[in-house]
Amino acid sequence: MDKNSLVGKLLCKIRKEEAYFIYFTLESHEGLCSFSTLPAENGQSFRLLEICYSLSLEKQMKHLLSTLQKKLRIEVLQEETFINS
């Protein structure tokens, strides 16, 4: 199976006040990943962010994430791989 048909998915917990910067950074790396914010309850101080990327771009995605984690609190809650159908 080739890496282009495999997708990595991360579920990350991020601080609400840092979310805008993380969204901006992910958007600026166009084509690297897609992401969405999961629904939050009123008053939550964090957001759950789901990030999907091609495993052929895993090295670049992990590098970006580790760079962001040096400055921001990003907790990876779940990581999985699945076949893109």
Domain that holds residue 74: 3-83
* pLDDT tens for each residue of 42-65: 999 999 999 999 999 999 999 999
d(CA 70, CA 35): 20
Pick 72 or 1 by higher pLDDT: 72
pLDDT of 1 > 80? The answer is no
42: domain CATH number is 3.30.70.260
Contact (Cβ atoms closer than 8 angstroms) between residue 12 and residue 68: no
Total structural domains in the chain? Answer: 1
Other Cβ atoms within 10 Å of 64 Cβ, number: 18
Biggest CA-to-CA distance, the chain: 44
Q: pLDDT averaged over the chain?
A: 93
- pLDDT value at position 5? 83
